[in-house]
A and B are shown apart, each in its own frame.
Chain A
């Protein structure tokens, strides 16, 4: 943007300054929020990761001792990382694939499209705690209807939330139940694909799979990428459902209320965010909690950076 190399008249300078102040005014709530709730706490977390602090007294410098503790001595640290990564890879992939499938289905339904759309979307609205409890009760190995049906069909009846091998798949099923948000965005993306491209493909003799591969998918790739990125971010924070499922399965909720065993069963639902809570709020070791928090942050950023390298129009047009 070339500017003539002359002195800028005073009136223009005043106008620019007014505009600048106005911009500042409009942005001010967010600027404060950014500083207080994002930038400062981020730095603070890094600071505390090097400190020994339990909420009372003053923090004392520990250098990398907290880091050594977390990576070497904190029980189930690596299991938690493994679980979190499992969930990110499996849950996000299945959710995106299923969301795309449901989106495709719903765009093809003629009779009762509105009804189906609403039905498919409804589970997404269910609060996570409520949804998890519903699923935990439904997947009750002994008396739940799912195992009842499987038993009637002569199929094996997994322990679902009580079985370490099945707890994460069960959580994945829960995540796929709440597919409504992905359905809506894929639906919108699919409807935006220009008809002419389909017609042209048909003229060339393309079958349904080829149409999908060469017309549909290239057009919706940005949305798929968006879905994957947001899915990864959400799954890195996976917390509530894992805890509630474990509590129900171990009888803490709706049972005789014994002590909650984190990651029940056998640490299979133990995730990184839970570690932050456990270290900080149950063990009072704020320093180590911040170490885990930074690991969580680094992993989230790493995933996002890898995925974003392929993105283009995420920011939208600018006037």
Chain B
């Protein structure tokens, strides 16, 4: 990294040498720390992977490296009763939830960003307070509403349906982004005779793709990782369990199957990570294509 150019033995040369050495030390320090941090972040994944490939017996020991590589553990997990159902439910919850969130949150964010109306500040404040509300605060009346009045207990509908009415966090993020879109685009569309809805659909939305993609991703992760919602509403009916809830109740055919439990853990972690990698590419493409700094 540091060039091996001979540095003249002048006072100026000495300065240069000191500066170069300091830069090199800095590089070493930064990268050593980065590697140490990297290990902290990555080792738990490695550990889960390695344990998931051990035999039942070895998983209980303090060995770190599998003696035999039991790939069939993963097949075993898939055969666990309910595992595939959890997958299906989680995909339904996350997919439908994300779609509903986007459809309902974009118009609201647009209105909050672009329309002038009385009470706009108040509405924004209301959105922010919704963002701050712990779900446990309102869970009792909500549970009574969904389970007792609408008889939707034991299903995932009580967590999916509210997403058709906007998600405060998504609304807030989208609004912040929409504020950065220059007014000239909107005005040009208006001059061309577009109504507000058309302006939104034809002009603004294509420019907002990266933000919408980001919000969709966040919402997908939120649903995928959600434990509390499914616990409250779906726990009484194993057919409605999601991956997170199922994992927390994971008991294979026998007891203490740590290798299988770790395999299941990895299978729950993997999809979101894979999705992230794919989305990242689309994300970056979206940003560069529209030329709007995300």
| Distance of A44 Cα from B143 Cα, bound (Å) | 12
A39 to B153, CA, bound (A): 22
A120 to chain B minimum Cβ distance, whole angstroms, is 5
B248 pairs with A48, CB closer than 8 A:
no
Assess the A276–B228 pair: CB atoms within 8 A.
no
Q: Beyond A127-B268, A316-B179, is A116–B34 a contact (Cβ under 8 Å)? A: yes
Is A280 part of the binding interface, using a Cβ–Cβ cutoff of 8 Å?
yes
CA distance A45 to B134 in the complex (A): 13
Instruction: Give the distance in Å from the alpha carbon of A276 to the alpha carbon of B137 in the complex.
Output: 8
CB distance from A47 to the nearest CB of B (A): 8
Q: Which of B140, B196, B221 has the most CB of A within 10 A?
A: B140
Q: What's the Cα separation between A318 and B129 when bound, in Å?
A: 19
Residues of A within 8 Å of B30, CB to CB, are 105, 108-110
* Cβ–Cβ < 8 Å partners of B196 in chain A: 22, 26
| CB proximity to B under 8 Å, residues A81-114 | 102, 105-106, 108-112
Closest CB in chain A relative to B63 CB, distance in Å: 9
A29 x B166 contact (CB < 8 A): yes
Report which of B148, B165, B262 forms a contact with A29, defined as CB distance below 8 A: B165
The answer to whether the Cβ of A143 comes within 8 Å of any Cβ in the partner chain is yes
Q: For the complex, count residues of A whose C-beta is within 8 A of B.
A: 88
Interface check B60, CB cutoff 8 A: yes
Contacts of A289 in B (CB 8 A): 140
Q: Decide if the interface of chain B is mainly helix, strand, loop or mixed.
A: helix
Q: Is the CB of B133 within 8 A of A38?
A: yes
Q: Are A276 and B62 neighbours in the complex by a CB distance under 8 Å?
A: no
Asked whether B41 lies within 8 Å of A145 as measured between CB atoms, the reply is no
Q: Using A130-B269, A254-B257 as known contacts, say yes or no to A19 and B228 having CB atoms under 8 A apart.
A: no
Q: Which residues of B contact A297 (CB under 8 A)?
A: 133-134, 137
Contact between chains at B108 and A105 (CB < 8 Å): no
Residues in A whose Cβ lies below 8 Å from that of B99: none
The distance in angstroms between the C-alpha atoms of A22 and B253, with both chains bound, is 58
Bound-complex Cα distance A223 to B19 (A) = 33
Residue on A nearest B280 in the bound complex, by CB:
A118
CB atoms of B243 and A125 under 8 A apart: no
Residue of B nearest to A286 (CB): B140
A171: interface (CB < 8 Å): no
Contacts of B4 in A (CB 8 A): none
A189 interface hit (Cβ, 8 Å): no
Give chain A residues whose Cβ lies under 8 Å from the Cβ of B268.
127, 129-130
Q: List residues of chain B with CB within 8 A of the CB of A129.
A: 225, 227, 244-245, 247-248, 268
Q: State A160–B141 Cα separation when bound (angstroms).
A: 37
**What residues of chain A lie closer than 8 Å to B250, measured between beta carbons?**
253-254
B42 interface contact, C-beta 8 A: yes
Contact-residue size bin, chain B (C-beta under 8 Å from the other chain): 35 or more
Residues of A close to B171: CB separation below 8 A? 30
Of residues 12 to 45 in B, which have CB atoms within 8 Å of A's CB atoms?
Answer: 27, 30-31, 33-34, 37-38, 40-42, 44-45
Asked if residues B115 and A255 are in contact (CB atoms below 8 Å), the reply is: no
- Among B171, B261, B265, the one with the most A-chain Cβ atoms within 10 Å of its Cβ is B265
A319 touches B42 (CB 8 A): no
Does any Cβ of B come within 8 Å of A315's Cβ? yes
- Seen from chain A, the residues whose Cβ lies within 8 Å of a Cβ on chain B are 19-20, 22-23, 25-27, 29-30, 32-34, 36-38, 40-42, 44-45, 48, 55, 102, 105-106, 108-112, 116, 119-120, 122-123, 125-131, 133-135, 137-138, 142-145, 148, 177, 233, 236-237, 239-240, 243-244, 247, 253-257, 272-273, 276-277, 280-281, 286, 289-290, 293-294, 296-297, 300-301, 304, 314-319
In the assembled complex, 24 residue pairs joining A and B whose CB atoms fall closer than 8 Å, in A order, are: A26-B115, A27-B112, A29-B164, A32-B165, A38-B126, A44-B141, A105-B30, A109-B34, A110-B27, A111-B31, A126-B269, A127-B225, A128-B227, A129-B247, A129-B268, A138-B44, A253-B261, A255-B256, A257-B251, A273-B136, A276-B137, A286-B140, A289-B140, A319-B183
